[in-house]
Every structure is written in C-alpha cells, then in structure tokens.
Amino acid sequence: MKIALAQINSIIGDIKGNSDKIISYIKAAKEKEAELIIFPELSICGYPPDDLLLQNNFVANCNQALHSIAKHCNFISAIVGCPSLNKNVFGKPFFNSAYFLNEGKIQTQIHKTLLPDYDVFDECRYFEPNNEFKLITFKNTRIALSVCEDIWFEQEKYYRHNPIHELKKLNPDLIINIAASPFHSQQPQIRFSLFSEIAKKNNAPLVYVNAVGANTDLVFDGNSCVYNTKGEIHLLCKSFEEDLQFIYTKNLNTTNYTVFPSEIENRYKALKAGVKDFFSKNNFRQAILGLSGGIDSALTLAIAADALGAENITAVLMPSKYSSEHSLSDSEKLLQHIPCKKIILPIQTTVNSAETLLFPFFENKKTDVTEENIQARIRGLLLMALANKHGYILLNTSNKSELAVGYGTLYGDLCGALSVLGDVYKTQVYELANYVNRNKEIIPQHIITKAPSAELRLDQKDSDSLPDYSVLDKILFLYIEEKKNVEQIIAEGYDENTVIRTIRMLNSSEYKRFQAPPVIRVSKKAFGRGRKIPLVAKF
C-alpha cells in the first residue's frame, strides 16, 4: 500500500481554509497514486481550539466540513483529525477523534483515549476519553489508529490504561498515530526514542503524522516519521515546514540514516516559525521593535527579519544620556547587515520633562529605580505610539532570565504583542546569536562580547543587580524546568544566599509575567499557559 504523510499547518478556527488545504493535499496524493493519506490531529479546526469548541455550531461546522472532505475520498482514503460530539448522556461534550474516510463517506471514527491536562494541555476540559478499542482493516492491512498522547503512555506516567497495549491484543499490522505535539528543544529526541521502542515492542511499523507551524505560544515542529519493526527510522519529514511524503508498506524494512538537526538549530527554527505564523495567521504585515545595541534586541531583529523580511520591520533607536557610544555604533552596524527601516528618537528631553513634572512629588526622595523605569516607560510609550499610528505590531525583546527575576519594567521594556525570546535564557541568547552568525557576521561581534547592560544609569551592568548569567540560568533551570526546591538546588553546589535571592526574585515577579506578552514556547516549561502560579500566594 502506498501511504502519503500530509504534514500541514492548520489555522485555529479556519475550518474552511483548513478543509480546502486538506482537499488540495488529497488531490495531490491521488495524482501520485497514493491509496491512503494521513493528516494531523484536529487538522480541520487546528490545535488547540480551546474554548472555540464551546461556541455554538463550531464542532457541527467541523463535522460538516469533514463530510465535504469525505466526498473527495474516492480511489484514495484519508485519515483526518476532527472534534466530534459526544452523544452519550454523561461525560464531556466532545471527543477528539480520528476519522477514516473511504468511498466518499465516513467509514470509522476512533476517539482519543489519553487526554493530557498537564503543562500546556487542557483536553479534559472539553473531551471525553475513549474506552473502546478496534482496528481498521484496509487493503488487507490491520491498522491500529491512535491520536497523539495515546502512544505516550510509557513516557508520561499520568494514566492507568495503555491504548497501544490494548490495540496490540488485536494483532495490528501497522500503527498509525496522528498528532499535534508541541515542540520544545528536547522533544524531538524524546519522541524518536519512544517511537523506536513502540515499533520494536509491538512488532509493527509506526507511522506518525504531526502538525507543523505555530499557534500563538505553541510551535509544532512536524518531523512526521515512519519507524520499521526493527525500531529504525524509515522516513523523516521536514522540520518546521509543511511536507508531503510517501511510503510503500512493503518496503519499510529499509533504513534512512537521517542526520537530525541540532538542539540550537531546532530552537532557532521554532522561534522563527513562532514569529512568522503569529503575523501571517493574524494578517499582520509590519513589525516594530526597540533596538538598544544589546544582544537581546539584536537577536530579536535577526529572527524577525528571517521570518518576515527586513523590509517589513522598523527598528527604533532611543538613546538617552546613559547610552554608550557603542550602543549606537553597534546598532548602526547591525542595520548594515539587516537593512530594515530605521527611526532614531532621542529620549532625554522627554525624560527631563517627566522628571520636572514629577519633581514636586519626588522632593526629598532619593534617586532610585523609579527614574530608571521612567526611561523604560518613555521608550515603551514611543514604540506603542509608532505601532498604533502605522499599524505595526510591537515585538518584545526580553529574555527568559529577565522575565524570571523581574528584571524588566511593566509598560516599558515589557511592552509588546509577542515575546520572541521569553523562553530563551540569556546564556542561550548568546548561543543563538552565534548560530545566526554561523555562515557570516550578521550580529556584530562586539554586541555578543560586551557586558550586558540596561543603560538606565551611569556605567550600569546587569551584574550589578543579578548573579552572573552562567550561574543564574542554571539555578532558574533547576527551579523552573526541573521543579527542584531551594534545598535541592543548594545541595547541587550553588551558593545558598544566591539561590534564595534568585528564587525570591522569581516568585515576587509573578504579577509582571501575568501582564507580559505571550511567549513563544521552546522549552519544556515556559512562562504562560504551561506554568500556572497564583498571583496572590505565600510560599
């Protein structure tokens, strides 16, 4: 049997657009004489649809589109992901379903069994779990069809029942899994190792079709693949791109010795996809950002230019009396390599006016972070004014280390519609900057090597207020990603006072992160929907 893997980028809620794309892929696969084409999880509505599922007729419209797609399934069959109504008296209102379309109509539907509600997932809010197991027989092949999490039982210890174990009892010839599996930097390798074991243990080839593209904070890497019964990879689709690939089930014993992208390459591609789809799926055209001469804004500009084209970006330089000479010269050199539009708005006159206005209320008070925040907020005001007037979308340039410890100003440098680097630690920012320069210098080397500074007071350095980033990031990683407590982190050899101070800064800054822009997720624990901490709490 010739099978097509259709790795597509769906837009959440665009039922017609997604359906038209699915139909076009069906036609393309039919021209190549494929007998079966497989699409990702919830490909008709996009993933995750969240509370759109609860809108009147949303799921009904999805199923109407499914029937229209089925009419194109003559001389070719399809597996398509779509939500379905739960017609039982009890339970959640919907199922997360995989449909088998054949001979112009819906032949079978298979519901998702394991419904994740950890990290970024909230499927138990909407979907009822499957409790029946059956195979699909097609072209003399017994197919075990499952949906995403159903093959993650042995990796995620949240469940009591193993759907693949239940399906194995029915002696399948082939395992097919349709997925919308969000990317994080370690996910591809975890996934490939898991799939290899599943194929070997069940003595059945595994065909995995994953979504691709980005939906707000979540990025989907694609990397759809096929594993043979020896646990070897037979086919790997593109990463972070739509793709249509074909396999013959009789030839699955061959091996494709694939070179997997590095973790840093995947992280860069994910950030680029996050920016690109945030703009394209929202019909945004132009981006704006503040260019400080520092590494964070330089990297953000490089990623945005790669995603959107330099001609669609405006960089705003806003020097104050504390801005170093090299901040301007480094920015100017960067703009020679990335020829976007440039605006220079010196802010010192505006800062002086604000301080004069506030002087009667600040009398007898020492100069402190308040005056620093005034500068940051004036920059935010100017960026938002330009964005409003010209219809630009402001990109936030703060990194994860800064967001974690509150090293940012609300309504100032935390302004923006999308946080590009909010899930990238400062040490990883340097790695990504060097990756950008892997073939030629784009980000000037001086931007990468100079000591980081907010330049909000004379001779200011980040190290004045924060531990060295090489230490800070490791402590934050252990606390955020590894969920270790203070005592466990100290036991790993870190200075007690530094650990306590770092965690105190992180916990006291939750209210800032609550108001920060959505963050493109590239780690296994990003700020945002996957990390829900009470704003009012004592712990």
For residue 172, say if its preceding peptide bond is cis, omega within 30 degrees of 0: no
Which parts of 397-464 fold into alpha helices (H)? 400-405, 426-436, 445-449
Confidence (pLDDT) at 154:
75
**Catalytic-role residue among 21, 30, 112, 272:** 112
- Mean pLDDT is lowest, of 234-248, 262-276, 458-472, for 458-472
In this structure, the answer to whether residues 48 and 117 fall within a common structural domain is: yes
Closest by alpha carbon to 294, among 310, 314, 318? 318
Which parts of 10-158 fold into alpha helices (H)? 15-31, 58-70
In this structure, the answer to whether residues 345 and 485 fall within a common structural domain is: no
- Total structural domains within the chain: 3
* pLDDT band (50, 70, 90) for residue 185: very high
Q: Is residue 275 part of a domain?
A: no
H helix or E strand, kind and range, residue 236: strand 233-236
Residue 259 pLDDT exceeds 80: no
Q: Is residue 230 part of a domain?
A: yes
pLDDT in tens, 43-56: 999 999 999 999 99
**Tokens encoding 241:** 């791109």
Confidence (pLDDT) at 84:
97
Q: Is residue 529 part of a domain?
A: no
Mean per-residue pLDDT for 453-469?
82
CB proximity list for 331: less than 8 A, separation 6 or greater: 291, 292, 293, 298, 315, 317
**Catalytic-role residue among 45, 73, 82, 148:** 148
Closest by alpha carbon to 96, among 57, 41, 160? 41
Residues 2, 141: Cα–Cα separation, whole Å? 12
In this structure, the answer to whether residues 112 and 251 fall within a common structural domain is: yes
Residues 268, 287: Cα–Cα separation, whole Å? 19
In this structure, the answer to whether residues 417 and 486 fall within a common structural domain is: no
In this structure, the answer to whether residues 474 and 457 fall within a common structural domain is: no
The CATH number of residue 155's host domain is 3.60.110.10
- For a pLDDT cut of 70, what percent of the chain falls above it? 100
Q: Is residue 524 part of a domain?
A: no
In this structure, the answer to whether residues 219 and 355 fall within a common structural domain is: no
pLDDT in tens, 96-115: 999 999 999 999 999 999 99
- Asked about 371 being catalytic, the answer comes back as no
* pLDDT band (50, 70, 90) for residue 8: very high
The CATH number of residue 408's host domain is 3.40.50.620
- Mean pLDDT is lowest, of 117-121, 156-160, 221-225, 242-246, for 156-160
In this structure, the answer to whether residues 330 and 411 fall within a common structural domain is: yes
Residues 269, 213: Cα–Cα separation, whole Å? 10
Which parts of 309-366 fold into alpha helices (H)? 325-337, 348-362
Confidence (pLDDT) at 432:
98
In this structure, the answer to whether residues 297 and 419 fall within a common structural domain is: yes
Confidence (pLDDT) at 325:
86
Closest by alpha carbon to 293, among 261, 337, 266, 332? 332
Residues 384, 392: Cα–Cα separation, whole Å? 9
Residues 264, 433: Cα–Cα separation, whole Å? 10
- Asked about 415 being catalytic, the answer comes back as no
Residues 343, 41: Cα–Cα separation, whole Å? 44
Q: Is residue 268 part of a domain?
A: no
DSSP state of 56: T
Q: Is residue 387 part of a domain?
A: yes
Q: Is residue 21 part of a domain?
A: yes
Cα dist from 33 to 30, 36, 88, whole Å:
5, 9, 39
Confidence (pLDDT) at 437:
98
List, in sequence order, every residue forming a beta bridge with 233; answer none if it has no partner.
227
* pLDDT band (50, 70, 90) for residue 453: confident
Mean per-residue pLDDT for 395-409?
96
Confidence (pLDDT) at 15:
98
Dihedral sign (CA 336, 440, 331, 268): positive
Cα dist from 254 to 117, 141, 194, 234, whole Å:
37, 19, 19, 6
- Asked about 41 being catalytic, the answer comes back as yes
* pLDDT band (50, 70, 90) for residue 89: confident
Q: Is residue 523 part of a domain?
A: no
Dihedral sign (CA 175, 176, 177, 183): positive
Residue 449 pLDDT exceeds 80: yes
Domain that holds residue 323: 283-462+511-515
> 256 vs 218, which has greater pLDDT?
218
The two beta strands, 313-317 and 341-344, are parallel
185, 263 Cβ separation under 8 angstroms: yes
Strand intervals (E) in 45-199: 77-85, 94-102, 105-111, 136-138, 141-147, 174-179
In this structure, the answer to whether residues 122 and 188 fall within a common structural domain is: yes
* pLDDT band (50, 70, 90) for residue 419: very high
- For a pLDDT cut of 90, what percent of the chain falls above it? 90
Confidence (pLDDT) at 56:
93
Residue 539 pLDDT exceeds 80: no
In this structure, the answer to whether residues 355 and 219 fall within a common structural domain is: no
In this structure, the answer to whether residues 83 and 166 fall within a common structural domain is: yes
Confidence (pLDDT) at 455:
73
Average pLDDT, rounded, for the chain: 95
**Catalytic-role residue among 2, 21, 30, 41:** 41
Mean per-residue pLDDT for 261-284?
97
List, in sequence order, every residue forming a beta bridge with 314; answer none if it has no partner.
288, 341
Residue 435 pLDDT exceeds 80: yes
Mean per-residue pLDDT for 29-55?
98
Residue 501 pLDDT exceeds 90: yes
Residue 276 pLDDT exceeds 80: yes
pLDDT in tens, 335-346: 999 999 999 999
In this structure, the answer to whether residues 360 and 478 fall within a common structural domain is: no
* pLDDT band (50, 70, 90) for residue 253: confident
Angle at 519 between CA 514 and CA 524, to 5 degrees: 105
Mean per-residue pLDDT for 197-213?
96
Dihedral sign (CA 528, 534, 537, 539): negative
